[in-house]
Amino acid sequence: MERQEKKWGKKNVDNDSLLEVPKGWKEPGITKEENKHGMLAESSFATLFPKYREKYLRECWPLVKKTLADYEIKAELDVVEGSMSVSTTRKTWDPYSIVNARDLIKLLARSVPYEQAIRILENDIACDIIKIASLCRNKERFVKRRQRVIGPNGSTLKAIELLTECYVLVQGNTVSALGPHKGLRDVRKIIEDTMKNIHPIYNIKTLMIRKELAKDPQLQNESWDRFLPKFKSKNISKRKQPMKKRIKKIYTPFPPPQPESKVDKELASGEYFLKPSTKKARRQAEKKEKQKEAVEKKQDKRAQAFVPPQETGESAAKKLKKSDDTVNVEELKKKIKKAQVIVCLTV
């Protein structure tokens, strides 16, 4: 035990003595007064944007410059090259603000609106741009699975946003997400699983259960595996099976035996040494025998139609006798009288 403590530099500490982070605690950010002297070295980042974003960026760029000016960061928009760049100045007091500014221009290039993209400058907010083009090679499948993330009328995307507390935008070959770190991890998992043909409803259901379990203080230190659903993937092959399946033969290094030719067969049976006239007579006799067999089969088939079926049970005469015995005489008399009355009336 002593060696282990020396090796890792740790001592046995009780779990009760560990510090717990209180609920709702936020890390205090850096202020301008804490770094009065600014930064010595200059850092800069640039990113390209597509042509269709030019009009929107021209409109919102004054607001971007004004917001970044509060952090003493310089922003430039180059419409000719189609690029945006941000760089620090001597007065920049927050070292991490340039990283947030870099993420800001990345989100603007990926069609995220300015109102949402500006949230990246907050302390607890981060962003994640997920590349989904490489996750599915077939273009038709890629389009279907990307649409599955959005859902009918954007309902699936709205559910993801509510559960993860993140802003999610599906655009082209990427999915842009903006929100807390925990929510971004869940969003990435949902998107990657969807592109791997796992429906997003499974992950959404798991997140909903976790959200409800987190409200119970008794279950905070327990495992939630018994409450979470376990979905098994069913790999059912839909490939059409062939009618005739070829059975793979056992590999042998020796070649197959050469098939016997017609001459070899004649030599084996002794027919090769016969005269042509006897050969011809034998063939004709074989032919006549085959014809005779075929004629007999046809005649048997025709004769089957004239064979009377065997009666099972009693004969027809017995059936008639039985029917005569069971006749009700009184009912028969009534019927005859009715028929006579009808005839008289008609006359």
pLDDT means per 10 residues, the chain with 347 residues, are 43 53 76 81 92 94 93 92 93 90 95 94 91 90 94 93 94 93 94 92 91 85 83 68 83 88 88 87 92 94 86 61 62 78 59
Specify whether the CB–CB gap between 130 and 191 falls below 8 A: yes
Asked if 68 and 74 touch (Cβ cutoff 8 Å), the reply is: yes
Task: For the chain, list the domains and their CATH numbers.
Answer: 33-123 (3.30.1370.10), 124-231 (3.30.1370.10), 261-292 (no CATH)
pLDDT at 238: 66
Beta strand 174-179 pairing with 167-171: antiparallel
Alpha carbon distance 49, 72 (integer Å): 24
In the block, tokens 């403590």 appear at: 5
Q: In the 3-class helix/strand/coil scheme, how is 311-342 assigned residue by residue?
A: CCCCCHHHHHHHHHHCCCHHHHHHHHHHHHHH
Q: H helices of the chain, where? A: 2-8, 54-69, 97-109, 114-117, 139-150, 155-164, 181-195, 200-214, 262-269, 276-303, 316-325, 329-346
Of 123, 77, 119, which Cα lies nearest the Cα of 96?
A: 123
> Whose CA is closest to 53, among 90, 124, 108?
108
Helix (H, G, I), strand (E, B) or coil at 244: coil
Which pLDDT score is estimated for 7?
41
CA-based torsion, 284, 290, 295, 296: positive or negative: positive
3-state helix, strand, coil in the chain (%, to 5): 55, 10, 35
The predicted structure's pLDDT at residue 6: 41
Residue 9 has a pLDDT of 42
User: Cα–Cα distance between 312 and 271 in angstroms, integer?
Assistant: 57
Burial class of residue 33 (count of CB atoms within 10 Å of its CB; 0-12, 13-18, 19+): exposed
**Residue 190, number of CB atoms within 10 A of its CB:** 28
Cβ-based neighbour number of residue 125 at 10 Å = 19
